[in-house]
Copies of this chain bind each other. A is one copy, B any other.
Amino acid sequence: MKLKIAVLPGDGIGPEVTAQAVKVLKAIAQEFDHSFQFKYAPVGAVAIDETGDPLPKETLDLCKATDAILFGAIGDPKYDNNPDAQVRPEQGLLKLRKELGLYANIRPVKAYDTLLDKSPLKKQFIKGTDICIYRELTGGIYFGEKTLSEDGNTASDLCVYSRSEIERITHLAFKSAQSRKRKVTLVDKANVLESSRLWRKVVTEISQEYKDVKLDYLFVDNAAMQIILNPRQFDVILTENMFGDIISDEASVIGGSIGLLASASVGDYFAMFEPIHGSYPQAKDLGIANPIASILSAAMLLDHFELFEEAELIREGVERSLKLNITTPDLNTKFNHISTTKVGDFIEDFI
């Protein structure tokens, strides 16, 4: 297979981890005789530094001209505590999601047997956890109108959802549940929010088309508790943008490190693959960043093109590295000299 892949390494540890994913994809291409072509472009704070724009037109055009996007991370603390900044790295990511119509962010959360001890949660609570979170990614309060009054003393954000926005991701979530444990849990705040009540209504209607899947409802506050108390009760979690952001980062503690969690952001025409961890600027260039989330994002990319055998091989490589303790310091208390690159090398060699 021939694939053109846009690589957007972004900020902080983004470039280091993405380099490992590219390395692994190259090994796959060689082993399976595919042709993967990689094209690089800036996004986020590095793009602001270079061009003044967190998502330069050339970057967006490149993404539109490729088959898939491999994304690193975005964000720089110099913007976070400056409420008056007009341009922010995050705008690049949000615009990319919106322009490419990447409305479904898919975040699998698994408790790896070899890592059960790393989690702050007790083994018996998490063993066997296998959740897939479907987070709506191009609607809600992230993209609704924002206002700041002229005197700067009142600010607002609008959370708005339309039926069609809810429908399309709901179908994806139910289809995914059909090939899993056949349960969808809708997380909302329907006892308070009008938009949540629309979610509940539309999702309930659509669930009628999937009689083999059970639909459950949880208020987001309760869900935030249940994910820790009893994560095994979940199969597919379906939720809106902001709740999905919170719940999926929270769920990362189950795996023992956020450095393990990959995600796919898909729409009707494009697909992007990225680790769920951020740019983690404090770790930049120290060789301690965990590349596994990025490498597993590459595996999700292969899945997307139905290269299942290839994806599986990457996952085996990852599991092997975890088993042999070839891991970065976040997971490794014994050998703290195993760097980002060495983990990448190991998985590359495995392939």
Interface residues of A (CB under 8 A from B): 75, 79-81, 83-84, 88, 90, 94, 120-122, 125, 141-142, 144, 146-148, 152-164, 189-195, 197-198, 200-201, 204, 217, 220-222, 224-225, 228-229, 242-243, 245-250, 252-253, 258, 278
For residue A194, give the distance in angstroms from its CB to the closest CB of chain B.
4
Report 5 cross-chain contacts, Cβ distance below 8 Å, ordered by A residue: A120-B125, A155-B161, A156-B159, A157-B158, A225-B258
A83 near B224: Cβ-Cβ < 8 Å? no
A194 near B245: Cβ-Cβ < 8 Å? no
A194 near B246: Cβ-Cβ < 8 Å? no
Q: Kindly report how many copies of this chain are found in the complex they form together.
A: 2
Set of chain B residues within 8 Å of A250, measured between Cβ atoms: 221, 224-225, 228, 250
Give Cα A75 to B189, complex, Å.
13
User: Which of the residues B79, B94, B192 comes within 8 Å of A142, measured between beta carbons?
Assistant: B192
Given A154-B163, A192-B90, A198-B83: A120 in contact with B247 (beta carbons within 8 A): no
Residue with the highest number of chain B CB atoms closer than 10 Å, among A224, A249, A278: A224
B228 near A249: Cβ-Cβ < 8 Å? no
Known pairs A152-B198, A155-B198; list 15 more (Cβ under 8 Å).
A81-B204, A83-B198, A141-B141, A148-B198, A153-B164, A153-B198, A154-B160, A157-B193, A157-B194, A157-B195, A221-B245, A221-B246, A225-B252, A225-B258, A250-B250
For residue A153, give the distance in angstroms from its CB to the closest CB of chain B.
4
Identity of the chain B residue whose Cβ is nearest the Cβ of A117 in the assembled complex: B122
Given A154-B160, A155-B197, A162-B153: A225 in contact with B249 (beta carbons within 8 A): yes
For residue A198, give the distance in angstroms from its CB to the closest CB of chain B.
4
Identity of the chain B residue whose Cβ is nearest the Cβ of A278 in the assembled complex: B222
Identity of the chain B residue whose Cβ is nearest the Cβ of A123 in the assembled complex: B122
Set of chain B residues within 8 Å of A189, measured between Cβ atoms: 242, 245
Identity of the chain B residue whose Cβ is nearest the Cβ of A253 in the assembled complex: B228
Give Cα A140 to B294, complex, Å.
36
A153 near B163: Cβ-Cβ < 8 Å? yes
A83 near B201: Cβ-Cβ < 8 Å? yes
